[in-house]
């Protein structure tokens, strides 16, 4: 899991930014993504399960001072906790070959499960100070808690080859 992110400014703090996408106070915690499951092959094959993702931790901003941003998309205070995305399931491929007078073949293939997404945590923003934004699409306060998405399931395929007088496959 990710670490906690905290920013605290005192009453005499003065923070100013001038460029585009230049936030005044920015605190973020992002959980790591889950690893992918292993691929497999054989007569009966099951792909590996993707690993679960890490969670985003608590995020907090406390502003007692003055925050001013001048550029476009430059938020005065931005706090975010994001859970990581789950790992992808592993692929699998199965196959069989049969030959003879009454040849028949069978194989089973199942793709691996996707890993679960990570949880996000609490986001808290408070301000007793002055906040000013001057650019387009520049918000005073943005606070987000976003859970991670689960991983994709793995693909699977199966192939049978049979040759003979009464060949068949399942």
Q: What is the pTM of this model?
A: 0.83
What pLDDT score was predicted for residue 170? 60
What pLDDT score was predicted for residue 106? 83
pLDDT at residue 101 tops 80 = no
Determine the average pLDDT of the residues in 38-49.
93
CB of 140 closer than 8 Å to CB of 133:
yes
Question: If you search the block for the tokens 């003879």, which residue do you land on?
Answer: 100
Residue 162 sits at φ, ψ, to 5 deg, of -135, 140
Q: In the structure, what pLDDT confidence band is assigned to residue 168 with cuts at 50, 70 and 90?
A: low
Closest CA to 84 of 146, 139, 136, 42: 146
Q: Which 8-state DSSP code applies to residue 81?
A: E
Determine the average pLDDT of the residues in 139-150.
96
pLDDT at residue 167 tops 90 = no
CB of 100 closer than 8 Å to CB of 133:
no
């Amino acid at each position: 899991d990710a670490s906690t992110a905290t920013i605290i400014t005192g009453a005499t703090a003065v923070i100013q930014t001038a460029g585009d996408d230049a936030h005044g106070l920015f605190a973020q915690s992002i959980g790591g993504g889950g690893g992918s499951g292993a691929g497999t092959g054989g007569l009966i094959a099951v792909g590996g399960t993707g690993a679960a993702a890490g969670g985003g931790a608590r995020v907090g901003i406390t502003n007692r001072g003055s925050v001013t941003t001048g550029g476009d998309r430059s938020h005065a205070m931005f706090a975010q906790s994001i859970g990581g995305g789950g790992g992808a399931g592993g692929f699998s491929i199965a196959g069989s070959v049969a030959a003879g007078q009454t040849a028949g073949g069978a194989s089973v293939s199942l793709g691996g499960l996707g890993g679960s997404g990570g949880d996000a945590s609490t986001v808290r923003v408070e301000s007793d100070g002055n906040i000013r934004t001057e650019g387009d699409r520049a918000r005073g306060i943005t606070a987000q808690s976003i859970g991670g998405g689960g991983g994709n399931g793995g693909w699977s395929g199966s192939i049978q080859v049979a040759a003979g007088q009464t060949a068949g496959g399942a």
